[in-house]
Structure 1
Amino acid sequence: MGSDAPRKRLPPEVRRGMLLAAARGVIAERGLHATTVRDVAAAGEVAVGTVTYHFSSMEEVLAGVLENEMEQYSAEIWSRAASAPTGLAGLGVLVDGLLASDVRTHEHWKLWLDFWALAAHYPQYASWQSRVYRDLHQLTADILRRGRADGSLVVKDPAGEAVEFIALLDGLVVQAYLPGSRLSPARARSVLHSYVRTAMTRHD
């Protein structure tokens, strides 16, 4: 077959996934508001019309990227935390996984920082983000209950303390992953581990 043979048409879901993978790198590097449909098309090596066929806006592209992030990045950390041998160990997995120092984690949180701003103005994205938080709060509360049962944690209100734990994590994320921040991810991990030791473990 010659090199001028027509390119095989990919199923829409496969093409969409490829475009989201291409868009992820561009948005993580430049930010949502500095990324155009043309940039995504160039990264995906397709025509601009192919991008606009699958996505109505760059906001929809970012939302799709974040859905993939939940499946390809966060879900693995959440799963390891849920299956840790003790509740305390489970919290440790969340802290070390979600506040890691590697490039992949930096990119992940840059994407989320863009999405938080987006969710503040678009109810449909705020609704999806609220569901993510609901699931993360539930996971953390379950870990706290397990820690109370196995004796590794001292908690009175797992649901309420889960919300506090995630709120502190989010605050550390905003500071630790902004360029030029004085707070490194390593320091952020140290702060959150210290909080867990002080507020959630016995001091005999």
Structure 2
Amino acid sequence: MSTPDRKARDAEKVARRRQSLIEAAITVIAAKGLPGMTLADVAREAGCGYGLVSFHFESKERLLLASLDALVEEYRAAWHARSDAHADAAGKLEALIDLDLGSDVADDRHIAVWTAFWAETSRNADYRARFSDLNSAYLARLEPLIAALAATEPAAADVSLIAGGLSALFDGLWIDSQIGGGRGEADWTRARATCRAYLHAFFPGSFGPETDPRP
């Protein structure tokens, strides 16, 4: 095997190991929160030695930041894939509703970790910056979709206000899902219906009131 091939295989192995440790960290954070998570917990969850976790991330804070970055990138990739699969604005918004409320990147485990990081944003500038960037990017994706609907159904409110309201509604429903104590799929069905009812108030020609179109 040539040296470049060996280096590529070694880099791939390191990347896989780091990803497995990040996944283990996310599982531990979902169960214990940020203050309760330790590198030893992550090592046990990943089935490896403490030294390996320390070697790859050096400190708890570096592992936490890597875990948050992984969540952000996973979520960005999912929202692009989901919304880009549809040609019209209403279809893209429906896809984002499905993504945010009950998908594999917004299940109870993921949302528990998101809310754990949210809770620390007032004290941690790195977390705050990541959430600010993600929120700005999300609104930049929502606003053109709302504007496209408003072009055919003039709305009673400013496009940016409608987009901001929808984003805030997603956030509130995420928090409610944690407070609600795991009521299951029926909760997500109602949450999706809540978002469609909100959009129906502005764009009745594009969104039905409260029915869930998912099978």
TM-score, normalised with respect to structure 2: 0.76
Q: CA deviation at 1:10?
A: 7.2
TM alignment of 1:20-169, pairs within 5 A: 20-100=22-102, 105-149=107-151, 151=152, 154=155, 157-169=158-170
Match of 1:185 among 183, 188, 191: 188
Amino acid corresponding to residue 19 of structure 2 in structure 1? G
Query: Which ranges in structure 2 are unaligned for 5 or more consecutive residues?
Result: 1-9, 207-215
What is the RMSD computed on CA atoms of the aligned residues?
2.9
The question of 1:199 aligning with 2:205 is answered no
Separation in structure 2 between the aligned mates of residue 19 and residue 195 of structure 1, nearest angstrom: 40
1:83-133, CA deviations, whole angstroms, 9 ceiling, x for partnerless residues?
A: 422212221111121111669621111110001012221012101110010
TM-score, with structure 1 as normaliser: 0.80
Unaligned 5+ residue runs, structure 1? 1-7
CA contact (8 A) 2:100 2:106 kept: no
Deviates more, 1:80-89 or 1:161-170: 80-89
1:33-81, Cα deviation, whole Å (9 max, x unpaired): 3321101112223322322233354343233223222333442233322
Distance 1:57 1:200, change over 3 A: farther
Change (3 A) 1:103 1:15: closer
Residues in 2 aligned to 1:74 and 1:36: alpha-carbon distance in whole angstroms: 27
Partners of 1:172 and 1:96 lie apart in 2 by 13
Distance 1:178 1:69, change over 3 A: same
Counterpart of 1:190, as a letter, is A
User: Across the two proteins, how many residue pairs are aligned to each other?
Assistant: 195
